[in-house]
Structure 1
């Protein structure tokens, strides 16, 4: 029976992915910080799984290496080795760089980037020894293009892409599929909280695109895992950014700069 471990699996994209695998009869280990939210997720998924005992929950902060590694090892002790790891845990705290405190900047880097590295480290040696395994890292559209008010978040998600590229080269020879995806704005509880802090300049750019349902994002991610695809994109704009970034990015930056200037009542250099 396939054992799927999902960090950040108690809500949002992580929970939507868990729901798909629960319907397929996989053993699921969900890891997040809130025991209460994890329990609600477990109850919800139990109705979709053949056996309620196939849903395991563990509380852990991915930013704390020893904590997340110990939690993953407990999951493997209970359900067997990890076949699929999905790193969905993440935080976003939008703010202009000069208004964003060092603690908030560090928290996003440690959760989004280092937290993924910690989780991967917990399963990688075992996958390498067995000669198979799948790892899906969840980045963001913000990991392809710098966005006003998201300096820390973009930095953490850009870093994931470099990590995934390097790890893919190492893991391939050992039968391990390393993948990374770049979701757009997605209808999740975290997205709703994020909107309250999004600077108006960012809203002028990002608010023009409707968020995707978490279930649609999850389906595309699971499909990418099944196909062993290294990169998974959502929509034509993100696909073009991922495939032809150096060509597309200047055009998007020009459009973004004009939209930001209009929203703040200024004039962009590109518009002079």
Structure 2
């Protein structure tokens, strides 16, 4: 039976992924920080898929020892990890000079280092078995820098570079690495993010409706099934991913004009 481990699996995209894999009959292990939320998710999924289908572990992925220990316990209970999805993440927007060092570091440690910690826990075993799939969840902000998202963009750009280098190392050993770049998505975190999003970022990012988390999760699962390396959502992110060096100069020119208009005021 397939064992899927999802970090950040208690809400948003991670929870939507957990529902898909539980429906498929997989054994699902979920890592997140808040135990009470994890317990509620476990109860929800148990109603339709049985009490033994989902394992939960409270852990902060920014802490390597916590993450590795939690994943070890999941593998002891459900067997070796077949699919790892690193969905845990945090976003705290704000201009660089007003963003505290703690907020900046928290995003780097959770979004980037937290993914690396989870991968480190399963990668050696996957190599030894010559089988396994790893999906790293980046962001559209990992394809182009956005005003007010210096820390978040840095962490998500780093994931892309990590994925590219790791793919080269992993492929000869039968381990498939993927990275995806979701757009704004309807999650509890997105609602909190909007409260602090700078007006300059709102103008740049436009009024495009966020994607439902279920739609994003469905596309991620299909990409894992096919073994796709990069997964883009919508034409804009596809263009950035495939033709970034051509598209970005125009987009940055347009962003700069929009930001200058806001700075001048009415």
SS in 1 for 2:197: coil
Deviation at 1:123? Answer: 0.2
Encode CA deviations 1:145-184: one digit per residue, 9 max, x unaligned.
0000000000000000000000000000110000000000
Encode CA deviations 1:14-60: one digit per residue, 9 max, x unaligned.
000111001100000000000011111112222332x2211000000
SS in 1 for 2:4: strand
Indicate the residue corresponding to 1:180 in structure 2: 179
Indicate the residue corresponding to 2:43 in structure 1: 43
Say whether the 8 Å CA contact 1:5–1:30 is kept in structure 2: yes
Q: How does 1:91-110 map to 2 (within 5 A)?
A: 91-110=90-109
Indicate the residue corresponding to 1:169 in structure 2: 168
Indicate the residue corresponding to 1:125 in structure 2: 124
- What is the root-mean-square deviation of aligned Cα atoms in Å? 1.1
Q: How does 1:253-264 map to 2 (within 5 A)?
A: 253-264=252-263
Superposition TM-score, scaled by structure 1 size: 0.96
Say whether the 8 Å CA contact 1:30–1:58 is kept in structure 2: yes
* 4+ residue runs over 4 A deviation: none
Deviation at 1:261? Answer: 2.2
1:244 aligns with 2:243: yes
Distance in 2 between residues matched to 1:205 and 1:239, nearest whole Å: 17
Encode CA deviations 1:185-209: one digit per residue, 9 max, x unaligned.
0000000000011111111122422
Indicate the residue corresponding to 2:84 in structure 1: 85
Encode CA deviations 1:122-156: one digit per residue, 9 max, x unaligned.
00010001010000000000000000000000000
Q: How does 1:1-272 map to 2 (within 5 A)?
A: 1-49=1-49, 51-265=50-264
Equivalenced residue count is: 266
SS in 2 for 1:184: coil
Indicate the residue corresponding to 1:270 in structure 2: none
Distance in 2 between residues matched to 1:24 and 1:100, nearest whole Å: 42
- Which ranges in structure 1 are unaligned for 5 or more consecutive residues? 268-272
Distance in 2 between residues matched to 1:134 and 1:236, nearest whole Å: 26
Distance in 2 between residues matched to 1:41 and 1:263, nearest whole Å: 43
Encode CA deviations 1:65-123: one digit per residue, 9 max, x unaligned.
00000000000000000000000000000010000111111110000000000000000
Deviation at 1:263? Answer: 2.6
Deviation at 1:266? Answer: 5.8
SS in 2 for 1:47: helix
SS in 2 for 1:28: strand
